[in-house]
Structure 1
Amino acid sequence: METTIPSTAARAAHRRRDRLFTVLAATAATLSGWAVAVPLAGVELTVRGGGVEQRVTPVAVAVSTLLAGLAGWALLALLERFTGRARPVWTVVAALVLLLSLLGPLTGGAGRSATATLLVLHLLAGAVLLPGLRRTAG
Protein backbone atom coordinates (compact mmCIF):
# COMPACT_ATOMS: atom_id res chain seq x y z
CA MET A 1 0.00 0.00 0.00
CA GLU A 2 1.40 3.33 -1.03
CA THR A 3 0.94 6.36 1.17
CA THR A 4 1.12 9.82 -0.25
CA ILE A 5 2.41 12.76 1.67
CA PRO A 6 0.49 15.94 0.85
CA SER A 7 2.60 18.73 -0.54
CA THR A 8 3.18 21.91 1.39
CA ALA A 9 0.89 23.76 -1.02
CA ALA A 10 -1.88 21.18 -0.53
CA ARG A 11 -1.58 21.42 3.27
CA ALA A 12 -1.72 25.21 3.06
CA ALA A 13 -4.82 25.06 0.87
CA HIS A 14 -6.53 22.68 3.32
CA ARG A 15 -5.57 24.95 6.22
CA ARG A 16 -7.04 28.01 4.47
CA ARG A 17 -10.22 26.11 3.63
CA ASP A 18 -10.61 24.89 7.22
CA ARG A 19 -10.00 28.37 8.61
CA LEU A 20 -12.51 29.93 6.23
CA PHE A 21 -15.05 27.27 7.17
CA THR A 22 -14.44 28.01 10.86
CA VAL A 23 -14.98 31.75 10.42
CA LEU A 24 -18.16 31.14 8.41
CA ALA A 25 -19.41 28.58 10.94
CA ALA A 26 -18.90 31.06 13.78
CA THR A 27 -20.84 33.66 11.81
CA ALA A 28 -23.65 31.18 11.19
CA ALA A 29 -23.71 30.30 14.89
CA THR A 30 -24.01 33.90 16.04
CA LEU A 31 -26.64 34.69 13.42
CA SER A 32 -28.59 31.65 14.57
CA GLY A 33 -28.32 32.86 18.15
CA TRP A 34 -29.57 36.29 17.08
CA ALA A 35 -32.49 34.70 15.19
CA VAL A 36 -33.53 32.64 18.20
CA ALA A 37 -33.27 35.55 20.62
CA VAL A 38 -34.67 38.46 18.65
CA PRO A 39 -37.44 37.37 16.26
CA LEU A 40 -38.35 34.12 18.02
CA ALA A 41 -37.96 34.95 21.72
CA GLY A 42 -38.71 38.65 21.32
CA VAL A 43 -35.58 40.00 23.00
CA GLU A 44 -35.11 43.69 22.34
CA LEU A 45 -31.42 43.54 21.54
CA THR A 46 -30.05 47.01 22.16
CA VAL A 47 -26.79 48.40 23.43
CA ARG A 48 -26.02 51.64 25.22
CA GLY A 49 -22.99 53.75 24.47
CA GLY A 50 -22.36 57.43 24.89
CA GLY A 51 -25.91 58.00 26.08
CA VAL A 52 -27.38 56.51 22.89
CA GLU A 53 -29.26 53.23 22.56
CA GLN A 54 -28.81 51.28 19.36
CA ARG A 55 -30.42 48.09 18.06
CA VAL A 56 -28.14 45.18 17.28
CA THR A 57 -29.00 44.03 13.76
CA PRO A 58 -28.14 40.72 12.09
CA VAL A 59 -25.75 42.65 9.83
CA ALA A 60 -23.90 43.97 12.89
CA VAL A 61 -23.73 40.45 14.32
CA ALA A 62 -22.42 38.98 11.06
CA VAL A 63 -19.86 41.72 10.43
CA SER A 64 -18.60 41.64 14.03
CA THR A 65 -18.19 37.87 13.96
CA LEU A 66 -16.50 37.91 10.56
CA LEU A 67 -14.06 40.61 11.68
CA ALA A 68 -13.25 38.78 14.92
CA GLY A 69 -12.72 35.53 13.03
CA LEU A 70 -10.53 37.11 10.38
CA ALA A 71 -8.49 38.92 13.04
CA GLY A 72 -7.96 35.62 14.87
CA TRP A 73 -6.95 33.95 11.61
CA ALA A 74 -4.49 36.76 10.80
CA LEU A 75 -2.91 36.60 14.25
CA LEU A 76 -2.55 32.83 13.99
CA ALA A 77 -0.92 33.13 10.56
CA LEU A 78 1.53 35.74 11.87
CA LEU A 79 2.42 33.65 14.89
CA GLU A 80 2.99 30.60 12.69
CA ARG A 81 5.37 32.63 10.60
CA PHE A 82 7.42 34.02 13.48
CA THR A 83 7.31 31.42 16.26
CA GLY A 84 7.37 27.68 16.68
CA ARG A 85 4.81 27.93 19.48
CA ALA A 86 1.97 29.50 17.52
CA ARG A 87 -0.77 27.20 18.83
CA PRO A 88 -0.31 27.77 22.59
CA VAL A 89 0.44 31.48 22.21
CA TRP A 90 -2.58 32.00 19.96
CA THR A 91 -4.83 30.01 22.29
CA VAL A 92 -3.91 32.16 25.30
CA VAL A 93 -4.31 35.41 23.35
CA ALA A 94 -7.64 34.30 21.84
CA ALA A 95 -9.01 33.25 25.24
CA LEU A 96 -7.97 36.60 26.75
CA VAL A 97 -9.59 38.49 23.87
CA LEU A 98 -12.80 36.52 24.35
CA LEU A 99 -12.82 37.30 28.08
CA LEU A 100 -12.19 40.99 27.39
CA SER A 101 -14.92 41.03 24.75
CA LEU A 102 -17.43 40.03 27.43
CA LEU A 103 -16.94 43.44 29.05
CA GLY A 104 -18.83 45.01 26.13
CA PRO A 105 -22.12 43.25 26.82
CA LEU A 106 -21.67 43.55 30.58
CA THR A 107 -21.28 47.32 30.40
CA GLY A 108 -23.31 48.13 27.27
CA GLY A 109 -26.28 45.77 27.21
CA ALA A 110 -29.57 47.65 27.59
CA GLY A 111 -31.37 45.41 30.09
CA ARG A 112 -30.90 41.92 31.41
CA SER A 113 -32.18 40.03 28.40
CA ALA A 114 -30.07 42.09 25.99
CA THR A 115 -26.99 41.65 28.18
CA ALA A 116 -27.54 37.88 28.46
CA THR A 117 -28.14 37.55 24.72
CA LEU A 118 -25.00 39.53 23.86
CA LEU A 119 -22.96 37.41 26.25
CA VAL A 120 -24.29 34.26 24.60
CA LEU A 121 -23.46 35.61 21.14
CA HIS A 122 -19.87 36.36 22.21
CA LEU A 123 -19.54 32.92 23.77
CA LEU A 124 -21.00 31.25 20.66
CA ALA A 125 -18.41 32.96 18.48
CA GLY A 126 -15.64 31.93 20.88
CA ALA A 127 -16.92 28.36 21.13
CA VAL A 128 -16.54 27.97 17.37
CA LEU A 129 -13.50 30.14 16.65
CA LEU A 130 -11.20 29.02 19.47
CA PRO A 131 -11.24 25.26 18.86
CA GLY A 132 -11.73 25.61 15.10
CA LEU A 133 -8.79 27.90 14.44
CA ARG A 134 -6.64 26.25 17.11
CA ARG A 135 -7.10 22.90 15.38
CA THR A 136 -5.67 24.33 12.15
CA ALA A 137 -2.51 25.69 13.79
CA GLY A 138 0.64 24.28 12.28
Structure 2
Amino acid sequence: MNTSVSRLLTVIGASAAALAGWVLAVPVAGIALTVRMGGGMQQVGPAAVVVASLLAGLAGWALLAVLERFASRAGRPWTIVALAVLALSLLGPLGSAAGTTATLVLVLLHLIVGAVLVPGLARR
Protein backbone atom coordinates (compact mmCIF):
# COMPACT_ATOMS: atom_id res chain seq x y z
CA MET A 1 0.00 0.00 0.00
CA ASN A 2 1.44 3.38 -0.88
CA THR A 3 2.14 6.05 1.71
CA SER A 4 -0.70 8.38 0.72
CA VAL A 5 -3.33 5.66 0.97
CA SER A 6 -1.92 4.50 4.29
CA ARG A 7 -2.00 8.03 5.68
CA LEU A 8 -5.51 8.64 4.39
CA LEU A 9 -6.67 5.46 6.08
CA THR A 10 -4.94 6.58 9.27
CA VAL A 11 -6.80 9.92 9.24
CA ILE A 12 -10.11 8.18 8.58
CA GLY A 13 -9.31 5.57 11.23
CA ALA A 14 -8.60 8.26 13.84
CA SER A 15 -11.94 9.86 13.08
CA ALA A 16 -13.74 6.50 13.22
CA ALA A 17 -12.07 5.66 16.54
CA ALA A 18 -13.11 9.01 18.01
CA LEU A 19 -16.67 8.50 16.79
CA ALA A 20 -16.72 5.02 18.34
CA GLY A 21 -15.57 6.53 21.63
CA TRP A 22 -18.32 9.14 21.40
CA VAL A 23 -20.94 6.43 20.70
CA LEU A 24 -19.82 4.43 23.72
CA ALA A 25 -19.85 7.50 25.97
CA VAL A 26 -22.98 9.34 24.85
CA PRO A 27 -25.70 7.02 23.50
CA VAL A 28 -24.50 3.85 25.24
CA ALA A 29 -23.32 5.17 28.63
CA GLY A 30 -25.62 8.20 28.66
CA ILE A 31 -22.90 10.76 29.38
CA ALA A 32 -23.73 14.35 28.45
CA LEU A 33 -20.77 15.87 26.61
CA THR A 34 -21.37 19.54 27.24
CA VAL A 35 -18.88 22.37 26.81
CA ARG A 36 -18.97 26.07 27.61
CA MET A 37 -19.07 28.11 24.38
CA GLY A 38 -19.12 31.85 24.72
CA GLY A 39 -21.82 32.62 27.26
CA GLY A 40 -23.72 29.35 26.90
CA MET A 41 -23.43 25.62 26.85
CA GLN A 42 -23.26 23.35 23.81
CA GLN A 43 -23.52 19.59 23.36
CA VAL A 44 -20.63 17.87 21.58
CA GLY A 45 -22.29 15.81 18.88
CA PRO A 46 -20.98 13.19 16.48
CA ALA A 47 -20.47 15.69 13.65
CA ALA A 48 -18.20 17.84 15.82
CA VAL A 49 -16.17 14.78 16.82
CA VAL A 50 -15.75 13.63 13.22
CA VAL A 51 -14.95 17.08 11.81
CA ALA A 52 -12.48 17.96 14.57
CA SER A 53 -10.64 14.66 14.27
CA LEU A 54 -10.53 14.84 10.46
CA LEU A 55 -9.17 18.40 10.61
CA ALA A 56 -6.52 17.37 13.14
CA GLY A 57 -5.50 14.43 10.99
CA LEU A 58 -5.35 16.43 7.77
CA ALA A 59 -3.37 19.20 9.46
CA GLY A 60 -0.91 16.66 10.85
CA TRP A 61 -0.55 15.04 7.45
CA ALA A 62 0.03 18.42 5.81
CA LEU A 63 2.73 19.33 8.32
CA LEU A 64 4.40 15.97 7.80
CA ALA A 65 4.35 16.46 4.01
CA VAL A 66 6.00 19.87 4.38
CA LEU A 67 8.65 18.50 6.73
CA GLU A 68 9.37 15.62 4.34
CA ARG A 69 10.10 18.10 1.56
CA PHE A 70 12.86 19.73 3.60
CA ALA A 71 14.23 16.93 5.77
CA SER A 72 15.27 13.40 4.92
CA ARG A 73 14.20 12.15 8.36
CA ALA A 74 11.01 14.09 9.10
CA GLY A 75 9.34 11.46 11.27
CA ARG A 76 11.07 12.32 14.53
CA PRO A 77 10.56 16.11 14.45
CA TRP A 78 6.98 15.58 13.28
CA THR A 79 6.31 13.21 16.18
CA ILE A 80 7.67 15.74 18.67
CA VAL A 81 5.48 18.50 17.23
CA ALA A 82 2.45 16.19 17.07
CA LEU A 83 2.83 15.18 20.72
CA ALA A 84 3.21 18.82 21.74
CA VAL A 85 0.05 19.74 19.81
CA LEU A 86 -1.78 16.81 21.40
CA ALA A 87 -0.74 18.00 24.87
CA LEU A 88 -1.90 21.54 24.06
CA SER A 89 -5.19 20.23 22.67
CA LEU A 90 -5.99 18.80 26.08
CA LEU A 91 -6.34 22.35 27.40
CA GLY A 92 -9.62 22.63 25.46
CA PRO A 93 -11.57 20.01 27.39
CA LEU A 94 -9.78 20.82 30.62
CA GLY A 95 -10.92 24.44 30.36
CA SER A 96 -14.33 24.21 28.74
CA ALA A 97 -15.98 20.87 29.54
CA ALA A 98 -18.95 21.04 31.89
CA GLY A 99 -18.29 18.55 34.66
CA THR A 100 -15.72 15.94 35.52
CA THR A 101 -17.22 13.16 33.44
CA ALA A 102 -17.45 15.30 30.31
CA THR A 103 -13.87 16.43 30.88
CA LEU A 104 -12.61 12.86 31.19
CA VAL A 105 -14.47 11.68 28.11
CA LEU A 106 -13.31 14.61 25.98
CA VAL A 107 -9.71 14.16 27.11
CA LEU A 108 -10.03 10.47 26.26
CA LEU A 109 -11.35 11.32 22.77
CA HIS A 110 -8.34 13.59 22.20
CA LEU A 111 -6.00 10.83 23.34
CA ILE A 112 -7.73 8.27 21.09
CA VAL A 113 -7.21 10.49 18.05
CA GLY A 114 -3.58 11.09 19.02
CA ALA A 115 -2.98 7.39 19.62
CA VAL A 116 -4.06 6.65 16.06
CA LEU A 117 -2.57 9.66 14.27
CA VAL A 118 0.89 9.92 15.84
CA PRO A 119 2.15 6.42 15.11
CA GLY A 120 0.00 6.00 12.01
CA LEU A 121 1.18 9.10 10.17
CA ALA A 122 4.80 8.91 11.29
CA ARG A 123 5.44 5.42 9.92
CA ARG A 124 6.38 4.94 6.29
Give the gaps of 5 or more residues in structure 2: none
1:57 equivalent in alignment to 2:45: yes
* Distance in 2 between residues matched to 1:83 and 1:131, nearest whole Å: 19
Report the counterpart of residue 87 of structure 2 in structure 1: 99
1:121 Cα shift? Answer: 0.2
* Poorly superposed stretches of 4+, deviation over 4 Å: none
Give the letter aligned to residue 106 of structure 1. L
Which of 106, 116, 126 is residue 104 of structure 2 equivalent to?
A: 116
Task: Among all aligned residue pairs of Structure 1 and Structure 2, give the percentage whose two residues are the same amino acid.
Answer: 60
Which of 8, 27, 30 is residue 39 of structure 1 equivalent to?
A: 27
Report the counterpart of residue 76 of structure 1 in structure 2: 64
2:2 partner SS: helix
Report the counterpart of residue 10 of structure 1 in structure 2: none
1:131 Cα shift? Answer: 0.4
Normalised TM-score (structure 1): 0.87
1:83 Cα shift? Answer: 1.4
* Distance in 1 between residues matched to 2:105 and 2:39, nearest whole Å: 21
1:67-114, CA deviations, whole angstroms, 9 ceiling, x for partnerless residues? 000000000000000112311110000000000000000001111111
Give the letter aligned to residue 93 of structure 1. V
Normalised TM-score (structure 2): 0.97
Give the letter aligned to residue 60 of structure 2. G
Which of 120, 124, 127 is residue 115 of structure 2 equivalent to?
A: 127
- CA RMSD, Structure 1 to Structure 2 (Å): 0.9
Give the letter aligned to residue 8 of structure 2. L
The count of aligned residue pairs is 124
